[in-house]
Structure 1
Amino acid sequence: MTALSARADVSRRLHTCVTRDPAEVERAQRLRYQVFSAEYGSDLGAVTPGLDADRFDRWCDHLIVTDGVTGDLVATTRILRQDHCPETGGFYSEGEFDLSLLLSRPGRVAELGRTCVHPDYRNGTTIGLLWSTLAGWLVEHHIDRIIGCASISMSDGGLKAWRIARHLQDRYLSAEGDRVWPRRELPHLTRSVPERPVEIPALIRAYMRLGARVCGEPCWDPEFRCADMLVLLEVRDLSDRYSRHFMRQAPGGA
């Protein structure tokens, strides 16, 4: 089987949907726990063992990708609309960053969060299906801007996180009017950061290819043992290549 036919086979097996069904949300929470606890070496402060759950989940739309052959849920992300913030007390990322300047601008904002993909399915096909479902959701809800926290493991003490943060700030920094400020600054290293090629996590690479920008300095998340960077995507600024691709696949797209 060629690589192209293998990707087509995987694509045919995978199904996507947007859900608030409690049973499906719990499956997503189990996948999130499995992926995040392994990657960040943390129990995530879980109240229920094996579940990554918080107060935001009930107000979010959950995008899921399921393997139609095995029935396994293999990828998920959640979206919180700004009009649900009165119920949640704000966006999740407002607990990590001062967003006052960014949110003062006009436009409908939604927050993307808890994005994860099972290690066996981390390929362009799975991520593409997740994004195409997101594109349909953006069209349906007339969203202008997406924000979210992009996480980087601190398992090496922060060296990798600082190298990635500096690379993203050098190449993908937002306009000054969209800057945010971390509520817990990432501890600075006592040694210099070596100059060598930076390996950007796959999901962050996907955000940047879509035209996203980082909005300032990273925040330290001690619960997840990671560094978070606030990422902003202007929906109208999606690159032509990705906009045409995703909107063509999306339900209700052109």
Structure 2
Amino acid sequence: MTAQSVRPRRSARRLTTDISRSPALIESAQRLRYRVFSEEYDSDLGAEIPGLDADTFDTVCDHLIVTDTDTGELVATTRILHQADIDRVGGFYSAGEFDLTALRNLPGAVAELGRTCVHPDYRNGATISLLWSAVAEYLVAHKIDYLIGCASISMSDGGLKAWRIARHLQREYLAEDRFRVYPLRDLPHLTHTANEERPVDVPPLLKAYMRLGARVCGEPCWDPDFRCADLLVLLEVNNLAARYSRHFLGKTA
């Protein structure tokens, strides 16, 4: 994929996207991930190398990055693991959190999106849209039929926010039974109930998943390393192509 630029809006920032397996760029992505995740989830992430959020999946994934061309700084990243490569790492990352039995026999190719994060100073529509444009182009180019991934919600308040968001998404965006998965570590239940009348503040990246047509596949899982709740989300790429081909790919539907 060739790098592409986004027309600046309300700022002079010039952003480009690229796909890479370059060790140097992967390390930059790992540093951004550590900064963002350690601050948001108040956890050291179990990092073996201080300042790096790294695991064995990084070496077999394609890393999609957004760079500020004026500063050279990597400002957003995500990674994609194709099912053709999962034997090299023992399976999808999400298989460590969910029973994926229902997804093993899906017709077509499956890929997993993970470790998505955006620099705090770049959390605007332009950056997130550009990152998702790169994801959409990748999915079409590699003929991916289903995209799965763990979407995380901070548990810094003890879990009240996570449960409210999970319940809201299960009501509004629950996948069909054939896509149902089950957490390997149940999220601790709260002894008190939330005020369901208050608006639910869904995190921007999770909200972006839903806008793209993704669905949640069941109950949340407790991730003790990140101190967060994870929801397994699934996107049928044909639905993405139908709804967003003009917006993300510059094509008519």
Q: TM-score, normalised by structure 2?
A: 0.94
- Give 1:243's aligned residue: 245
Letter in 2 for 1:58: T
- Give 2:3's aligned residue: none
Quote the Cα distance in structure 1 between the aligned partners of 2:86 and 2:131.
24
Matched, 1:101 2:97: no
- Give 2:113's aligned residue: 112
- CA displacement, residues 102-148 of structure 1 (integer Å, 9 cap, x when unaligned): 22221100000000000100011001111111112112210000000
Quote the Cα distance in structure 2 between the aligned partners of 1:141 and 1:212.
19
Shift of 1:160: 0.2
- CA displacement, residues 44-71 of structure 1 (integer Å, 9 cap, x when unaligned): 0000000000000000000000001111
Partner of 1:7, secondary structure, is coil
CA contact (8 A) 1:42 1:225 kept: yes
Structure 1 counterpart of 2:201, from 183, 199, 202: 199
Query: Kindly, what percent of the aligned residue pairs are identical?
Result: 69
Matched, 1:187 2:192: no
Mapping 1:13-92, distance limit 5 Å: 13-92=14-93
- Give 1:121's aligned residue: 122
- Give 2:169's aligned residue: 168
Quote the Cα distance in structure 1 between the aligned partners of 2:66 and 2:225.
27
Letter in 2 for 1:135: A
Q: C-alpha root-mean-square deviation of aligned residues, in Å? A: 1.6
- Give 2:220's aligned residue: 218
- CA displacement, residues 141-195 of structure 1 (integer Å, 9 cap, x when unaligned): 1000000000000000000000000000000000000000000000000011211
Quote the Cα distance in structure 1 between the aligned partners of 2:82 and 2:11.
34
Letter in 2 for 1:216: G
Give the unaligned 5+ runs of structure 2: 1-6
Q: TM-score, normalised by structure 1?
A: 0.93
Shift of 1:9: 4.3
Count of aligned positions: 246
Letter in 1 for 2:226: F
Letter in 1 for 2:199: P
Shift of 1:247: 1.7
Shift of 1:243: 2.5
